[in-house]
Structure 1
């Protein structure tokens, strides 16, 4: 790992910690040349292709998934920790499936299932994009379905 300050190639690890439930390693490093200390993160990389609805394939992108979920959860009471924990679990599920290709529908349904349990507004926001609602009647149908699914108290 190059030093971000002096570009020296030789750095030493002075501390390592496992974070994000074991999915990431945080390393504190020190440059052997200038003594600058910095932090790096080591994450599991998924070598999985996502098959889109139209048949296109693109590499799995954790940040793209996180961005979509964050947009749905904007100004809702869902913590970043909850979102990241869910994505970690989803990635573990993808690894355990052992498949090189996963449909975008599978990912979308997993996200919608989680959002439905966390926050109905976030769920509707995500569903409107994921299901490509064409007009207000599709929103209303989805809201009616949500209300129908809620237990009566």
Structure 2
């Protein structure tokens, strides 16, 4: 395995239009960035969870979204997805440890945030106040993986 040393820690940011292909573009970006920085051990989980959050941004908003990958050091990575809707879903509305209710067996959706809860080391959110002209400025949902396991999730 090749490891690339980056100092200071690196950051990638990607602005995504309200487009059904946004999750695919996010997955491709995650794969390229993590592979390029030698973070293959977290690639699959980050690709899955980032795709889930970007998909939710597309399904539940009418505006653009942004994906941000931030290397925190010690092999840790923070992934944030911003969208234009102010609602913060479980488990993000509480500190790590908040639980998502299981979905019915026949349900076609509702498992994405459960995946974040089960696969990420920690997660959280920030709600942004009123934007321009009184419009909401949306929210940021984030999760962290890699490095020393925090045990928070």
Q: Taking structure 1 as the reference length, what is the TM-score of the superposition? A: 0.28
Compare the two structures and name the one with the higher helix fraction: 1
